[in-house]
Amino acid sequence: MNRKKYFSLLLLVLTHFYSMGQTRKWNLEECVKYALEHNISIRQSELDTQTAVIDKKDAYGKFMPSVSASASHSWNIGLNQDITTGLLKNQTTQFTSAGANVGIDIYKGLQNVNNLRKAKLSLLASQYQLQKMQEDIALNVANAFLQVLFNKENLKVQNEQLAIDNKQLKRTQELVNAGNLPKGDLLDVKATIAADNQKVIAAENALLISKLSLAQLLQLDSFDNFDVADSEEFQMDQSILSQTPTSIYDKAKQERAELKIAQTNLEIAQKNVSIAKGAYQPTLRGFYNFNTRVSYADVALRDLTTGAVIGTQSPPKFFDQFNDNKGQSFGAQLNIPIFSGFAVRNNVERSKVSFEKSKIALEQQELDLQRNVYTAFTDAKGALKAYESAVQALDSRLESYNYAKEKFEVGLMNAFELSQSQTLLSAAQSEVLRTKYDYIFKTKILEFYFGIPIIKK
């Protein structure tokens, strides 16, 4: 009995969580955050930033001394020359050598300093690039999110219109049965309902495609039950239009990542010129070397009077030889470049050309930003006017439809003319929705340039 209760409770919990998973709806903040965590381009930019961090460590490493050690051991077996008598004899000789080298740049034409500054700038540029990628993805997600909201509201409008026409069909049927309207009006209403059904299907397809586009932008593994929440945060806010295009552009020059990237690339190009010029200057490098050796061959023992070999004696002990045979050297090495086949000069000229290109790229980026800001401001104002005109048109179409419905009720208008009025009303409602979300997105772009983020962090 207890086991059955436990199983029933577990099934209830699983069903509850499954139901929550099926009905969960994403808001804009969740969509943006998910996209920033899973987008492939952003992950690639993050890896580029990690590479820039490693390059910065390399630049720091050039200030540190280089240290290396070496050791070797060899065996000479067979006919070898005795180092004592000079005679050839069969013997086994072992020889061990060891050494260590230390070197450090004392002066290198400030190339190491400029390389470090360049590495820091490259890291900063990669961070700006990552920021730009995140901002672009957030803006694309917001656009796709708004498109889903528009299609959801448009589907509601089409369904409401279909419901109204179905009521009209019932009313028309009653009037036809009573002999107040001809049967042709009933057929016209049925044709209108068929057209409404087509509009509903088209709206459903548009909503499905917009959800699919947003899900793909988020790179979801599964989007069968993906849906977004009806958001109240998108209002017809006109505060950004109180700013002037000039003030928005001035703020954008301080905030926009693409301008920071261009400025940083210019500074990197300037450092490349300094690095290339450093090759004209002499370099001074300090060094220290240590070496020692040990021999493992038997040493001949001679008679001091006759010089004859009277036996052998073992070589000195390992550590004694290691200490006696050691040698050290230290000093400084100066290299003065005189002529290198114009390689240094050409490298400097090449760096100067790249620097001029970076200056032009920065100027072009400023012009593009200015044009984009003024275009966005003009588009936002135009979208607001279009929305206001659409609202006025909807009011007029609604009054016209109500008047047409009254005329239809008393037999002064046929069903076809009423259907035409309904079609115009439906088109006006859709146009209000379209212009509303078009204005919201264009104000988001304008706020984006002004430094207002898509979502609050």
Domain termination residue (choose one: 291, 314, 336): 336
Per-residue pLDDT tens digits for 359-374: 999 999 999 999 999 9
In the predicted model, is pLDDT for residue 252 greater than 50?
yes
Assigned domain for 353 exists = yes
Q: Which two three-digit tokens encode residue 211?
A: 């959800």
Domain termination residue (choose one: 303, 336, 369): 336
Q: How confident is the model at residue 101 (pLDDT cuts 50, 70, 90)?
A: very high
Burial of 79 (0-12, 13-18, 19+ CB in 10 A): exposed
Is 326 found in the same domain as 258? no
Is 435 found in the same domain as 308? no
Q: DSSP alpha helices (H): ranges in 180-256?
A: 183-218, 245-255
In the predicted model, is pLDDT for residue 10 greater than 80?
no
Q: How confident is the model at residue 300 (pLDDT cuts 50, 70, 90)?
A: low
Q: Which domain holds residue 357?
A: 26-64+114-281+340-449
With contact defined as beta carbons under 8 Å apart, do 36 and 138 qualify? yes
Closest CA to 431 of 396, 391, 372, 377: 391
Is 299 found in the same domain as 406? no
Is 194 found in the same domain as 166? yes
Tell me how far CA of residue 226 lies from CA of 101, 209, 222, 255, in angstroms: 65, 12, 8, 34
Is 144 found in the same domain as 75? no
Q: What is the mean pLDDT of the chain?
A: 84
Is 261 found in the same domain as 225? yes
Average pLDDT over residues 33-56: 91
Average pLDDT over residues 327-348: 90
Domain termination residue (choose one: 336, 356, 378): 336
Q: What's 304's domain CATH number?
A: 2.20.200
Q: How many structural domains compose the chain?
A: 2
Q: Give the up-direction half-sphere exposure of residue 351: CA atoms within 13 A in the CB hemisphere.
A: 19
Tell me how far CA of residue 69 lies from CA of 63, 252, 322, 330, in angstroms: 20, 56, 16, 15
Q: What's 170's domain CATH number?
A: 1.20.1600.10
Closest CA to 203 of 160, 151, 161: 151
Average pLDDT over residues 243-270: 92
Phi then psi dihedrals of residue 19, to 5 deg: -65, -40
Assigned domain for 7 exists = no
Q: Which two three-digit tokens encode residue 325?
A: 């045979």
In the predicted model, is pLDDT for residue 11 greater than 80?
no
Assigned domain for 57 exists = yes
Phi then psi dihedrals of residue 99, to 5 deg: -160, 165
Assigned domain for 72 exists = yes
Coil, strand or helix: which one is 178?
coil
With contact defined as beta carbons under 8 Å apart, do 384 and 439 qualify? yes
Looking at residue 163, its pLDDT comes to 87
Assigned domain for 19 exists = no
Quote the strand ranges of 283-377, DSSP E. 283-295, 299-302, 309-313, 327-335
Average pLDDT over residues 247-253: 92
Assigned domain for 455 exists = no
With contact defined as beta carbons under 8 Å apart, do 213 and 226 qualify? no
Per-residue pLDDT tens digits for 113-125: 999 999 999 999 9
Q: How confident is the model at residue 228 (pLDDT cuts 50, 70, 90)?
A: confident
